[in-house]
């Protein structure tokens, strides 16, 4: 089964570059394109693609607000923010909102396609060129400690097991099988975990837990 990809970007040259080469990737399928944020949200709602490449400064609705919108609606599409450059504060906010990745548009297309695969399999991705920006911001704001929700350190042992499964990117059904519990119980644990971490979705939970040293 192919990974279904949507691209939302206002620069035709970038879109054409992806569109003309992604067809050579046997496991990826470009299902839709959008040039502005309203159209992007509509297409994500309609198609619910596996992975979306979304421009940070997309017109009408920007990339960060798109993440927030689909998170509120419970749409499972994973979002990779694409940008020419970004401040550490913006990268931090994107991951806190629930981005699955943040990539520079300067990355070769091969690396972008690899990132799509990694995100689809449950990982988070960040361009090497942007990692220092994020680290500098976190250190300057002391946010590795200061903005960690206080309840996160009260996760139960069972909740930590479910959190580790979330970090590995495995499904609710697979988690239930591995931990010998029902899917309904897994869903309940996930709901409690998200509430304790103060997040709306799995990528944000993983990011917050890693900053709080709950995950390696």
- Sorted by where each starts, the structural domains of the chain and their CATH numbers stand as 3-141 (3.40.50.2300), 150-211 (1.10.10.10)
The model's pTM:
0.77
Neighbouring C-beta atoms of residue 30, cutoff 10 Å: 19
pLDDT confidence of residue 38: 97
> What distance, in Å, lies between the first and last C-alpha atoms of the chain?
31
Record the tokens describing residue 101, joined without a space: 């990745």
Q: At what angle do helices 202-211 and 157-168 cross, to 10 degrees?
A: 110
Place of tokens 């103060």: 198
Phi, psi angles (nearest 5°) of residue 201: -155, 175
State the pLDDT confidence band at 4, using cuts at 50, 70 and 90. Answer: very high
For strands 28-34 and 3-8, give the pairing.
parallel
The answer to whether the Cα torsion of 176, 181, 185, 186 is positive or negative is negative
Give the whole-angstrom CA distance, residue 143 versus residue 120: 28
pLDDT tens sequence across 49-89: 999 999 999 999 999 999 989 888 878 899 999 998 889 89
pLDDT tens sequence across 92-110: 888 888 888 999 999 999 9
Q: Please provide the average confidence, as pLDDT, over all residues in the chain.
A: 88
State the pLDDT confidence band at 152, using cuts at 50, 70 and 90. Answer: low
Overall residue count recorded for the chain in this entry: 216
Element (H, E) at 54: strand 51-55
| 63 vs 157, more confident | 63
């Amino acid at each position: 089964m192919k990974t279904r990809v949507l691209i939302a970007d206002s620069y035709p040259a970038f879109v054409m570059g992806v569109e003309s080469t992604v067809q050579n990737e046997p496991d990826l399928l470009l299902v839709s394109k959008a040039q502005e944020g309203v159209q992007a949200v509509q297409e994500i709602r309609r198609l619910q693609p596996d992975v979306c490449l979304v421009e940070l400064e997309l017109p009408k609705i920007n990339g960060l607000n798109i993440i927030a919108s689909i998170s509120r609606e419970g749409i499972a599409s994973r979002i990779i923010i694409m940008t020419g450059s970004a401040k550490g504060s913006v990268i931090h906010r994107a991951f806190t909102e629930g981005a699955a990745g943040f990539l520079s548009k300067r990355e070769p297309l091969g690396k972008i396609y690899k990132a799509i695969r990694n995100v689809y399999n449950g990982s988070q991705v960040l361009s090497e060129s942007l990692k220092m920006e994020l680290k500098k911001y976190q250190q300057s704001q002391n946010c590795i400690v200061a903005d960690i929700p206080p309840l996160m350190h009260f996760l139960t042992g069972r909740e930590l097991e479910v959190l580790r499964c979330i970090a590995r990117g495995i499904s609710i059904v697979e988690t239930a099988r591995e931990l010998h519990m029902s899917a309904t119980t897994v869903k309940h644990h996930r709901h409690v975990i998200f509430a304790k971490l103060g997040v709306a979705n799995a990528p944000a939970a993983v990011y917050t837990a890693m900053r709080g040293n709950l995950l390696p």
